Amino acid sequence: MTDWTALIRDVPDYPKPGILFKDITPLLADHAAFTQVVDELGDGLAFDKVVGIEARGFILAAPVAYRSGAGFVPVRKEGKLPSETYEASYDLEYGSATIEVHADAFEPGDRVLIVDDVLATGGTARAAVELVRRTGAQVVAVSFLMELSFLSGRDRLPGLEVRTLLTV
């Protein structure tokens, strides 16, 4: 894949002092970069549903589902899903959060690809994996646009295929 790192903007001290925020909006605005990234996130993997994690994960996961003929399932921040949910709480680089998935989002035996923009500490992805597994579905891989390798998020996803397209 082309190295699109130049389209990731570094924003110091956002959202808190000491955090170097990786802003993906320049990459999203570039058609060639955006489409290649969407193509690569699911390439060669077999799955029935794509999970996108609110909010930036939605931007990437929905087109991955569309292009691969899979369904899309949102994992949302707490209180946003209207029906019965499972929830998981976790810490991330600049705070903590709770995410939820609809308890009936998957068919028994569904193979699930989880997609998000950034793998940092891995807290968010770990919680999403737990949610999918609680429903009885199977996580086949976790794909990210970008990995912040100094935070070792991969270590929180043992035994899983972890795909990252850019590493910083």
Question: How buried is 160 (Cβ within 10 angstroms: 0-12 exposed, 13-18 middle, 19+ buried)?
Answer: middle
22 binds, among ligand PRP, ligand ADE, none (CB under 5 to 8 A by kind): ligand ADE
Gap between the Cα atoms of 18 and 111, Å rounded: 38
Gap between the Cα atoms of 159 and 85, Å rounded: 26
53 binds, among ligand PRP, ligand ADE, none (CB under 5 to 8 A by kind): ligand PRP
Backbone angles phi, psi at 25, to 5 degrees: -65, -35
Q: Which is nearer to ligand PRP, 115 or 137 (CB)?
A: 115
Q: Is 126 in the site for ligand ADE (CB under 6 A)?
A: no
Pick the binder of ligand ADE from 4, 7, 22, 157 (CB under 6 A).
Answer: 22
Count, residues in the chain: 168
Distance between alpha carbon 126 and the CA centroid of its chain, in Å?
10
| Residue 93 annotated to the active site | yes
The residues of the shown chain that bind ligand PRP, judged by CB under 6 A, are: 53-57, 92-93, 97, 116-125, 153
From 56, 67, 111, 154, active-site residue: 56
| Residue 111 annotated to the active site | no
- Catalytic residue positions? 56, 93
